[in-house]
Amino acid sequence: MSIAKSITVNESAGITFLEVDNAYATGKISLYGGHVLSFIPKSDQKERLWLSPHAYLNGERPIRGGIPICWPWFSDDHGKEKGTLPSHGFLRSQVWQLQQSEDLDDATRILLTPSFSRGDGFEYDCQVTLELLVGATLEVTLHTKNTGVIPFVFNTALHTYFEVPDIGNTSLTGIHGNYKDKTDNWAVKATPMPYTISGETDRIHLTAIPEVIINDSDTPLTSVSSSGHDSVVVWNPWQGAASISDMDAFGFKHMLCVETAFTQGCEVAPGDTHSITQIISPA
């Protein structure tokens, strides 16, 4: 298989990394987890993704930061006792394979597949493909095809960690409707206006919001567009970051997760494919 000229393949600590450098952006992808680690548009040279300086980049555990792939369940919503199955599913802790790459006129296109998509907690026949377009924008699409003879239901998320200059000056626009607040026993609440972050935040917004803007003070910084989803998740651990072993105690000041998600059950009929997409671009 030939590899696109814009891609350099490197290995470190047993993990293979794809480094993309084209006319529009640079990016870095780990084949462990099928995990995007970096996206820097050349239009403004600003890193859009936050990666923990203490992230495990040796395959010992899922990577903290970038864009983890949650599949086939979100959080611990797998129907079994908490802790019996891995949080956020089993795709983010396995090695993925590069199936195809090519240089297009306006982006580098990459197709990745996991080692397996059938496992404890999800025993259905399906094919999962991660499609990446690295250009002036970063387009991330997770395709789930039902290759079996019966329908199945799953949940998923593109659990993106965004780099922000200062969480105290960060706000979100575009979010509306109600959300479920995990920090308050899943109470249903109305979206705050203005939407700022001033403490531990773990919210599932139960609306297919098409675009969220991350603002630095009053200046739009990053646009997050979504499709194929039913929810948007907003997360920042705040001072709880100190209890997360692969996160700096003050790391919460420079990150905010805005996740394109399907949390209310996506049913896929035999032969059908569901695709969830997040597009990240300068605002």
Which residues are catalytically annotated? Answer: 159, 259
Annotate 134-163 with DSSP letters as a single string.
EESSEEEEEEEEE-SSS-EEEEEEE-PEEE
The DSSP bridge pattern shows strands 187-190 and 178-181 to be antiparallel
Helix (H) or strand (E) holding 282: strand 273-282
Q: Could you tell me the CA-to-CA distances from 183 to 21, 81, 187 in Å, in that order?
A: 40, 20, 8
Give me the count of residues in the chain.
Answer: 283
The one-character DSSP state at 61 is: S
Provide the token pair at 187.
Answer: 């109470």
Question: Rounded to an integer, what distance in angstroms lies between the CA atom of residue 33 and that of residue 269?
Answer: 26
